[in-house]
Every structure is written in structure tokens, then in C-alpha cells.
Amino acid sequence: MRYVVCGVPRSGTSMMMQAIVAAGVEPWHSESFRPADRHNPRGYFEHGDVIRGRSTECPSGVCVKVVGPDAVRFVTRSDKVILMRRGGHAVAASQAEMGFPAGRTTAMLDHAVERLASDIPWAYVADYDYLVDTLDFSGVAGYTGLPAEAMATVVDRLLRHHTEVLP
């Protein structure tokens, strides 16, 4: 069994990876692939071969991050999958700040998350804003069996660059 964190870029996947690591699970990532920067000063927790779609292999018992639609090809029924959800407006604003290609509408981003949830029906859907606002990781803990208190320690509200603001 693996812990797989998935979602669209800028939806809170790095924060959830940090939370799972804080709960004692080893991350499967390559720090040199995408080093920490001002947008994610604690790092992205991405494995280059997984992010590029070149590999679906990783050891059992680790946590791994898969962003975008490749999650569907990567996960197995035995994985504990945490799908990060964050409002499309906040994701689009955060992506724009990082220089992502223009043209991604909030509706497209929201649809991408709903599609992943539909394609991976056993996934636990975690709401980024709820977790940051409340520090309540009990739902994630109930699904994964990991300690909620340890996971909540990673939240840094100062890193919350964008919130859901309707146009």
C-alpha cells in the first residue's frame, strides 16, 4: 500500500505530502527535480519520473505525489489516495503567479478535480481551505490511519498565497 497525493498544480498537494511525512511516512521524491523556492519554501516533494509520467513504480509504504490526470494511470486499488481540492479561482491565481501558461479557466480546473474524483472513487477528497482554516485533519487521519495531530503541524498560513475569491 502506498499513500498517493494527487490534484491539480497549486491545489495543496505539497502541503499534504508534508503532512503525511510529518506523520511518519517516507516520501518518494527527488529533491533535485524541483527544489524548494519562494512559492514552496519547504519543497515540492515530486519525483521526476513520476511527474513526467515515465514511471508508475514506487515502493510500498511510501507517499508519492502525482499531479494532473496521470494520477489515474498511477494509482492502484490498494493505494490510499488523497485528492486535494481547492477552489479554481485560487488555483488559477496561484498558477498565474508562478507563470503557468495562460488559458486555464477556473471551470477547467474545477472539472479536472471532479474528473479525478470520478475516476478514482475510493480516493479521499481533502479540501485545502478547510484544512488550512481549521487545522482539522481528522478526516484524512480516519482514511489513512495516520495521526491527525502530527499532520496539522505542517500548516503554515503565511504560505497561503491565494484564497477563493469570486470575480
Q: Which CATH superfamily is domain 3-159 in?
A: P-loop containing nucleotide triphosphate hydrolases (3.40.50.300)
Sequence-separated (6 or more) residues with CB below 8 Å from residue 99: none
CB distance 90 to 113 below 8 Å: no
Instruction: Give the model's confidence band at 159: pLDDT under 50 very low, under 70 low, under 90 confident, else very high.
Output: low
What residues pair up with 144 in beta bridges, in sequence order?
Answer: none
pLDDT above 70 (res 61): yes
How do residues 2-47 score in pLDDT, each as one tens digit? 999 998 888 888 899 999 999 999 998 776 677 777 777 787 787 7
Task: Determine the average pLDDT of the residues in 46-64.
Answer: 79
Sequence-separated (6 or more) residues with CB below 8 Å from residue 20: 3, 5, 27, 63, 82, 144, 146, 151
Portion of the chain with pLDDT greater than 70, in percent: 84
Amino acid at 73: R
Residue 108 or 146, more confident:
146
